[in-house]
Amino acid sequence: MSIGLKPIPLKELKALSAPKKWEVKGYLDDLASLTPIKGVLIAEHQENSLLIKARLQTIVSLKCDRCSNGFNQNLKFDGKELIWISKENDLDVEIHLDELVECIDPLDKFEPEKWIFEQLNLQMPILNICSDSCPGPPISNNMEASFHEKGDNGSKDLDPRWSPLKKLL
């Protein structure tokens, strides 16, 4: 990872009188982006939790799952995450799953580049579709010919095995 944001021990974050703020501009080795990741990342130690806020954006190049053409996708994250600070075997406290899901050891470090990578990856589309008007896979003459067989009368009749697929065209 090459943004240059070094991991910071939670003890150091706790000792700061104000939240730690990073200006983000650069690339991550594990995220192939066309433009540098730009934005702001803020980490604030709050006794038993770590509040992370960020506004991040970049552009990635994807391949359409329908037509196989390449296209560019904006990735944006503007939000926050609350991470529980506790040893894993100290989780006697009731945690509401809609609030705190992540847990970090108090002796551990917060890794801003890893966190940025995770948040931007969560913004990636599940299906890569280039547009609402995506034409789908290209149909070559050979493929179209395979939809038809010559009938007894010499005309091209649809092979009945292809009829469900023909409806998709």
Number of domains in the chain: 2
Q: Tell me if 97 is assigned to some domain.
A: yes
**Residue 128 within any structural domain of the chain:** no
For residues 62 and 112, state if they share a domain: yes
How, if at all, do strands 103-104 and 70-85 pair?
parallel
pTM reported for the whole predicted model: 0.75
Q: For 146-164, b where at least 16 C-beta lie within 10 A, e where not — what string?
A: ebeeeeeeeeeeeeeeeee
Query: What's the pLDDT score for residue 112?
Result: 96
Domain range spanning residue 19? 8-122
Per-residue pLDDT, averaged over 61-78, amounts to 95
Domain assignment present for residue 151? The answer is yes
pLDDT in tens, 25-57: 999 999 999 999 999 999 999 989 999 999 999
What's the token pair of residue 31? 């995220």
Largest CA distance in the chain: 88
